[in-house]
Amino acid sequence: MDKWDRRFMELAGVIANWASCYKANRKIGAVIVKNKRIVTTGYNGAPAGIKTCVERGECLREKLGIASGTRAELCYAVHAEQNAIIQAARLGSSIDGATLYCTHQPCVLCAKMIVNSGIQRVVFKEGYPDEFAVEMLKEGGVSLEHFEE
């Protein structure tokens, strides 16, 4: 990993602090970079106009007893990676060939979006219990790299 990877991972960590997830250990940040330029950022949180878990005072997944790494659709939040990709689409910014820096390894839902968006490289810091996502990224030709300081 080089100094640019370090810088963009640091930024992903800062952006993670903006997340509206009720659980402190699930604040996720993402940065999409192309040619050493930031294209978009994202963090996990409820869609625009929808109450966040913080505003609700509870985590729906916790309330329903859903294990980490499963049933990602049962959550008010949109994932950080998804929000960064969606933001690129809204702004009309190409992310084909880009690198996505993320505080956590993407889940399989995000992995599918990453493959289809044309992102070629994902750098993550923390692991996530989703081996299917790893397989999906590999088969889709996306380089998955664990960032270690």
Phi then psi for residue 61, to 5 deg, are -65, -40
Q: Is 81 annotated as catalytic?
A: yes
Structural contact between residues 52 and 45, judged by C-beta atoms closer than 8 angstroms: yes
- Both tokens of 112, joined, read 């599918």
| 99-104 sheet: strands from edge to edge | 37-43, 29-34, 99-104, 121-126, 143-146
Active-site position among 10, 58, 62, 81: 81
SS3 content of the chain, % helix, strand, coil (to 5): 40, 20, 40
DSSP state of 25: G
Helices 80-91 & 108-117, crossing angle to 10 degrees? 30
Catalytic residue positions, numbered: 81
